[in-house]
Structures are given as structure tokens and as C-alpha cells.
Amino acid sequence: MKLRLEDNTLRLRLSPEEISDFSRLGRLQTVVPLGPLATDCLTYTLERDAATPGSTPGIRYEGATIRVLLPAALSDSWTSTEAVSLEGQVEVLANQVLRILVEKDLGCKH
């Protein structure tokens, strides 16, 4: 699973294998070491979440973990159809908006 952060946009791209795993497990996680200690890492997850309301992705930031949350119905529909991307916006600090994109990375060679 690839994470891209640019300005006010957070984007996750999943390979076909990751989409299959996410459909089956309801959760994907990537841990990126950023220093010499075990605690020096960034973790990001994509989670199917029955408690997340609405029909767009949500987000939680907890310490060094970024959690992208998909409402259960949205997650199930996305993984079982030809739909390529999901998009949403959440309000963050000082009336700013964070755009969230979750995409199927089909045909990617890297």
C-alpha cells in the first residue's frame, strides 16, 4: 500500500493483491521505520469500520499512526466492483480541509 501526502491531500493506492487482502481482512497496515529505535516509525492503516458514519472515507491520527477509515458499506462496494477510487474530505485544524483518496493501483509495474 502506497501513501502519498501532498499539500492538503492524503492518497492511498492499493495493488490488486492488497485489495483482495483488504476485502478479506478488513484492514491493511504498513510500518515505515524512520530511525534507529523500534518506536521511530510511521504506521498507516486502511480499515473497514462499521462505526464510521457516512459514505466517504474518514481519518484518525493517533501518535505516529494515520488511520484511514472506510464505512463498511462503502468498503464492501468498492472492493467488489470495478470502481477505481474513493474520495472524501474532512475538516481539520482551523477550518482547513483534508482531501482523502483511496485508489486501486491497477496495472502498476512498480
Q: Which amino acid is at 57?
A: P
In this predicted structure, the answer to whether residue 109 has a pLDDT above a threshold of 60 is no
Residue environment code for 20-42, b if the CB has 16+ CB neighbours within 10 A, otherwise e: ebbeeebebebeeeeeeeeeeee
pLDDT of the residue at 108: 56
Q: Which three cell numbers stand for residue 88?
A: 472524501
Q: Provide the phi-psi class of 54: left if phi over 0, else alpha when psi is between -120 and 50, else beta.
A: left
What is the CB-side half-sphere exposure of residue 64 using CA atoms within 13 A? 12
CA distance 48 to 45: 10
Domains recognised in the chain with CATH numbers? 2-104 (3.30.1360)
pLDDT of the residue at 54: 80
What is the overall mean pLDDT for the chain?
93
Q: What is the pLDDT of residues 7-45, one digit of tens each?
A: 999 999 999 999 999 999 999 999 999 999 989 999 999
- 106 secondary structure, DSSP code: T
In this predicted structure, the answer to whether residue 110 has a pLDDT above a threshold of 70 is no
